[in-house]
Amino acid sequence: MRILVLNSGSSSIKYKLFQMVGREVLASGLVERIGEETSTLTHQAVNAQGEITETHREGRVADHREGMRQIVEALSASSTGEDGGGLAGIGHRVVHGGEDFTEPTRIDEKVLQVIRQNIPLAPLHNPANLIGIEVALEVAPDLPQVAVFDTAFHQSIPPRAYHYAIPHELYARHRVRRYGFHGTSHEYVAGQAAAFLNRPLASLNLITLHLGNGASVAAVRQGRCVDTSMGMTPLEGLIMGTRCGDIDPALHFYLLREAGLTPDELDAVLNKESGFKGICGTNDMREVLEKADAGDDRARLAIDMYCYRVKKYIGAYTAALGSVDAIVFTAGIGERAAPIRDACCQGLSGLGIALDTEKNHGGSPPPFEIQTANSEVKILVIATDEELQIAEQTFELIRRMSQ
Ligand code: ADP
């Protein structure tokens, strides 16, 4: 049985086709720059000999509907036959489920309506996700389609952690609260950590660190999220490629008054011009590390600030959880930047956290562990796979529905 995973953004559609029997990727690809003259479709597929072939198509893709049509065409052209069954369903990544969705949900008219109602909470993402769903429903009206929400895993966070200390009415009327994002990734790596440690997830307290372009931390008690660093929007928490993370909220008023910025300009500064980019001029951690190695003071400062912020969250979430079994590093930086993992764990022996530098720089592919023999807390490096998690959850829901 196959599951197609779709991640529809404002000007792109990413997709991955899984064969669920062996969790094998049969095809994947990306339509980019939808609506522009320079649109491209890149499609990779495994052929009958088991080799990966890539096709690349250039030329205007007018809209998401045309993008989906090209994806369907590319998938049927590269189909390797009915190896173990046809398409069982489609899983869609949806960024914001608000308070309405706590788990993957079969899409129907009511679900579409609630996703629409959540547009004010994610004005850039939810409309793009919706277009992808609507087009997929047109193309394949009889297939079960499932929405998997970035926010769902964090819906178990208790009120003391999701409320902001502002007038309650702003929550009641405007839904202002912490939602958290990257939930699919945090949930996936928590499960993978339990499998790696060969322990039931329900017996573990974990701190999961998703360190990619965007970055967030989650405190996971016995498989359920109890706190996370991103908030009402993905701007809160850790320092990121171009986002500032935690700052004094009064800074906004100061900058509006003193720097003469408009609210939209300030929004762009904090979301797109801050983080590593704002501190040292580049948003890519590989370049930040290179610059720091070459003696660039601002790049060193960016790394220092980044790791210090991560350490403060590890401390805070250790307190939130009471005790921690494992810290999990994942996503681009977490999986591949050994010097960052090193710096994030330095000086934490008081919390029972001790990193083995040699193991950390060992260069093995994830999953692997990097704590010293006497560290009370395990430190794991686990590769995230949000598409596989969406495929698994879609598959599981379809299986349960058909029972
Ligand atoms: P996204 O959030 O876009 O999915 P990723 O999880 O791919 O992002 O993470 C991107 C980040 O990972 C970038 O800052 C990139 O520089 C960093 N990264 C990727 N590979 C390495 C590496 N080998 N060493 C250090 N940083 C890396």
- The answer to whether the CB of 390 falls within 8 A of the CB of 5 is yes
Torsion region of 322: left, alpha or beta (phi above 0 gives left; psi -120 to 50 gives alpha):
left
In this structure, is residue 176 part of a structural domain? no
Q: How far apart are CA 215 and CA 61, in angstroms?
A: 31
Q: H-helix or E-strand containing 209?
A: strand 205-211
Give the strand pairing for 378-381 and 326-330.
parallel
108 and 223 in a single domain? The answer is no
Distance 285 CA to ligand 1 centre (A): 6
**Tokens read off for 132:** 């992808």
138 and 276 in a single domain? The answer is no
- Judge if the beta carbon of residue 128 lies within 6 A of ligand 1: no
In this structure, is residue 58 part of a structural domain? yes
pLDDT of residue 84: 47
Q: Which atom of ligand 1 is nearest to the CA of 214?
A: 2
Pocket test for ligand 1, best of 283, 286, 364 (most atoms within 8 A of CB): 286
pLDDT in tens, 180-213: 999 999 999 999 999 999 999 999 999 999 999 9
Catalytic residue among 150, 227, 325, 385: 150
Give the sign of the dihedral formed by CA 287, CA 289, CA 292, CA 294.
negative
Domain edge (last residue) among 125, 149, 173: 149
- Judge if the beta carbon of residue 212 lies within 6 A of ligand 1: yes
- The answer to whether the CB of 389 falls within 8 A of the CB of 366 is no
For residue 97, what are the domain limits? Answer: 2-149
As for how many domains the chain has, the answer is 2
- Judge if the beta carbon of residue 241 lies within 6 A of ligand 1: yes
DSSP 379: E
Distance 340 CA to ligand 1 centre (A): 12
Q: Which atom of ligand 1 is nearest to the CA of 331?
A: 6
Distance 339 CA to ligand 1 centre (A): 13
Give the strand pairing for 87-94 and 145-149.
parallel
Q: Considering the entire predicted model, what is its pTM?
A: 0.95
In this structure, is residue 155 part of a structural domain? no
133 and 209 in a single domain? The answer is no
145 and 226 in a single domain? The answer is no
130 and 220 in a single domain? The answer is no
Q: How far apart are CA 340 and CA 343, in angstroms?
A: 5
DSSP 371: B
Q: How far apart are CA 395 and CA 384, in angstroms?
A: 18
- The answer to whether the CB of 185 falls within 8 A of the CB of 292 is no
In this structure, is residue 181 part of a structural domain? no
In this structure, is residue 31 part of a structural domain? yes
Residue-wise DSSP of 106-135: E--HHHHHHHHHTGGGSTTHHHHHHHHHHH
81 and 206 in a single domain? The answer is no
374 and 267 in a single domain? The answer is yes
Q: Which of 403, 395, 392 is nearest to 144 (CA)?
A: 395
DSSP 304: H
Pick out the chain residues at pLDDT < 70.
Answer: 79-85
76 and 210 in a single domain? The answer is no
Domain edge (last residue) among 149, 169, 188: 149
In this structure, is residue 403 part of a structural domain? no
Residue of minimum CA distance from atom 21 in ligand 1: 336
**Tokens read off for 388:** 């596989």
Distances (CA, A) of 40 to 1, 13, 313: 29, 11, 40
> Which alpha helices (DSSP H) does 294-330 contain, by range?
297-321
In this structure, is residue 179 part of a structural domain? no
> Beta-strand (E) ranges in 20-167?
24-32, 40-46, 52-58, 87-94, 105-106, 145-149
In this structure, is residue 115 part of a structural domain? yes
Residue 150 is among the residues annotated as catalytic for this protein: yes
16 and 131 in a single domain? The answer is yes
Q: How far apart are CA 240 and CA 215, in angstroms?
A: 6
- Judge if the beta carbon of residue 359 lies within 6 A of ligand 1: no
- Judge if the beta carbon of residue 284 lies within 6 A of ligand 1: yes
Q: H-helix or E-strand containing 224?
A: strand 224-228
Residue of minimum CA distance from atom 12 in ligand 1: 332
pLDDT in tens, 59-103: 999 999 899 989 988 988 876 555 545 899 999 999 999 999 999
- The answer to whether the CB of 35 falls within 8 A of the CB of 120 is no
31 and 140 in a single domain? The answer is yes
- Domain with residue 119: its CATH number is 3.30.420.40
267 and 125 in a single domain? The answer is no
307 and 229 in a single domain? The answer is yes
Q: How far apart are CA 51 and CA 49, in angstroms?
A: 6
